[in-house]
Amino acid sequence: MRAGARRRRPCYGPAMPATPAWPPASTPRLFVDTPLGPDAAPVVDGAAAHYLLHVMRLKSGDPLLLFDNRSGEWLATVADAGKRALTVRIERRMRAIEAVPDLWLCFAPVKKARLDWIIEKATELGVARLQPVITERTIVERVKRERLEAQIVEACEQCGRTALPALAEPVKLPALLRDWPEDRALLFADEAGGAPFGTVDAPAPAAILTGPEGGFTERERAALLACPAVRRIALGPRILRAETAAVAATALWMAQHGDWGTAAGKVSPEA
């Protein structure tokens, strides 16, 4: 190159625009209680349709993600957007149904807002089964199943779960212990003390039991400790609210034996 000559920059042509992610991260995600598959054309109506049409402003051709608690998660597009319902077209399956750790959360029902919080967080954390337990000091003995089911669905839609946790009917503590399966460890969170959680080896299948606001009675404690499957645990040096204990114990188990690490827990046959 002679002196003073300008170095020519290589010409690569105009920059190509990046291909946008599909489906977009903002794509609505919805549970539908109907089998999904390549040939399915589900209709979304009711409150879900109102949300999609009037809040999310979906129109024909827009994407959405559906899961059915049977086959996994599917990408779909709106085929027809009416005033009160949407017909969608299934495009392809995005994920198979997940394998959740085989952990049950047995808990005494508490007041409405706190109960909703337990259901929401336990679902997000990945429990396989939710079991309300009526104890001697349980204040709330009747639970509205429809409201709890709605909380479960909403939590699954938000956190990306493809398998809804099973919701059992409330049962009294003596009946729970009488019919308890021998092969499932029952981690009894006792406010009176117990072994530190990290020292108790209880992989799946397992369950956690937390009590009501007033704790367990001495008669209930004696019945629990007489059950061969029960392992008494402590949740730290402080007294926790009932809802805090349920979520804390679930998180500790998931970190130790669940799917938060490299090894996934045993798959629940109900999931």
84-131, pLDDT tens digit by residue?
899 999 999 999 999 999 999 999 999 989 999 999 999 999 999 999
Residue numbers of the domain that contains 230: 103-257
Q: What is the DSSP string of 191-206?
A: TT--EEGGG---PSSE
CATH value at residue 47: 2.40.240.20
* 3-state SS class at 227: coil
pLDDT-based confidence at 19, cuts 50/70/90? low
pLDDT-based confidence at 271, cuts 50/70/90? very low
- Note the pLDDT tens digit of each residue in 187-242: 999 999 999 998 999 999 999 999 999 999 999 999 999 999 999 999 999 999 99
**Domain limit, last residue, from 75, 95, 115:** 95
Statement to judge: residues 81 and 198 lie in one domain = no
- The whole-angstrom separation of Cα 53 and Cα 263 is 41
Statement to judge: residues 39 and 146 lie in one domain = no
pLDDT-based confidence at 17, cuts 50/70/90? low
Statement to judge: residues 66 and 163 lie in one domain = no
pTM across the whole model: 0.86
Q: Spell out the residues 6+ positions from residue 38 whose beta carbon is closer than 8 angstroms to its own.
A: 90, 92
